[in-house]
Amino acid sequence: MSGAVKMARMPDLSRRALLRLGAGAAAGALGAHALDRLLAARPPITAPVTMAGTGVPLAPPPPLEPAPAPVAAPTMVTGSFVSAARGGIATNWAIARPPGQTKPLRPVIALHGKGSSAATVMEGGVEQGLAQAVAAGLPPFAVVAVDGGGSYWHKRASGEDSGTMVLNELIPMLDTKGLDTSRVGFLGWSMGGYGALLLGGRLGAPRTAAICAVSPALWMSSGAAAPGAFDGPDDFAANSVFGMPGLASIPIRVDCGNSDPFYSATKQFIAQLPSPPSGGFSPGGHDASFWSSQLPAELIWMAPILTA
């Protein structure tokens, strides 16, 4: 953003100007004639520098060794950690990057749906999709997936809290894996779409660059929710994304099929947002075919916002 700073051209100092400068600095101690003789006695600047008492010219310094070329990060890294937030469960994670990346990238946290996992998210071709996106001109970013179980990405009566796992364990860990978590994006499908809205809103606008919720699992009441999604009316109310203040200033995209069972609740969620989100409704259902058809446009939308 900042332009190059141009240094003002230093004017050439003539011999007469140098005499005036020397005379003024010496305040009369050296006259112009004495300074002229002093300058004439100095060796030319092109004379070789010699060691005192030997007359042997100094050898030029050896050339500096070239800096080693930066090593590109692998395009796929997997691992696991024991999550205290999930009650000591071994939790798998995966990081996908475009090829040839040598600098920290900002991540999109991809939250899976119920019955899925980090592995199934990556099996959908994320690694190849990132390579194609960057080749097509999108700014590079990483995609991170993590196992969240089936607890709908929030604290449950059982003590498991996959939402806290993401915010307080996974994201800090990513700092040690060569990623830039100063700003992150959230992307999720079904249960993960709801989770993306919930966790992105809780992390807040200073850290959440954008949220993309695909076919989000939303209900208008706890009684209408799928069995196991919430522990009861109080849990439902405490973890609702309707009217969530943190979402008001975060760029949001919502994609949902016209035949999706969450169509009606998603439409009502969109209507209550202070600003219309990107995305919208299009032919399709609640399935992988619809989700894969939406992904290219979602990445094109997400990438410049995340990397800005």
Q: What is the pLDDT of residue 52?
A: 52
In-domain check, residue 70: no
Note whether 277 and 269 are within 8 A (CB). Answer: no
Token readout for 133 is 């996106």
In-domain check, residue 141: yes
Token readout for 217 is 């699992």
CA dist 251 → 37, 245, 247, 307 (Å): 74, 13, 8, 13
Phi, psi of 302 (to 5 degrees): -70, -45
* Distance between CA atoms of residues 198 and 188, nearest Å: 11
Burial class (CB in 10 A: 0-12, 13-18, 19+), 71: exposed
In-domain check, residue 80: yes
In-domain check, residue 215: yes
User: What is the maximum span of the chain, computed from C-alpha positions, in angstroms?
Assistant: 103
In-domain check, residue 46: no
Query: 227: domain CATH number?
Result: 3.40.50.1820
Token readout for 148 is 């969240």
Q: What is the pLDDT of residue 64?
A: 82
Phi, psi of 189 (to 5 degrees): -120, 130
Note whether 253 and 301 are within 8 A (CB). Answer: yes
Q: Is the dihedral of CA 235, 236, 241, 243 positive or negative?
A: negative
Q: Name the DSSP letter for residue 215.
A: S
Q: What is the pLDDT of residue 244?
A: 97
* Distance between CA atoms of residues 147 and 112, nearest Å: 8
Average pLDDT, the chain: 86
Following DSSP, what letter does each residue of 26-74 receive, concatenated? HTTSS-HHHHHHHHHHSPPTTSPPB-TTT-PBPPPPPPPPPPPPPPPPP
Phi, psi of 88 (to 5 degrees): 85, 20
Note whether 201 and 241 are within 8 A (CB). Answer: yes
Q: What is the pLDDT of residue 15?
A: 35
Residues of the chain with pLDDT under 50: 1-43, 45-47, 49-51
Q: Name the DSSP letter for residue 165.
A: I
In-domain check, residue 86: yes
Domain that includes residue 100, residue range: 76-307
In-domain check, residue 56: no
Exposure string of 77-94, with b = 16+ CB inside 10 Å and e = fewer, is eeeeeebebbeebebebb
Beta bridge pairs of residue 211: 186, 252
Residue among 171, 149, 146, 176 nearest 86 (CA)? 149
Q: What is the pLDDT of residues 1-60, one digit of tens each?
A: 433 333 333 333 333 333 333 333 333 333 333 334 433 444 454 445 444 555 666 777
Report how many domains make up the chain: 1
In-domain check, residue 85: yes
Q: What is the pLDDT of residue 119?
A: 97
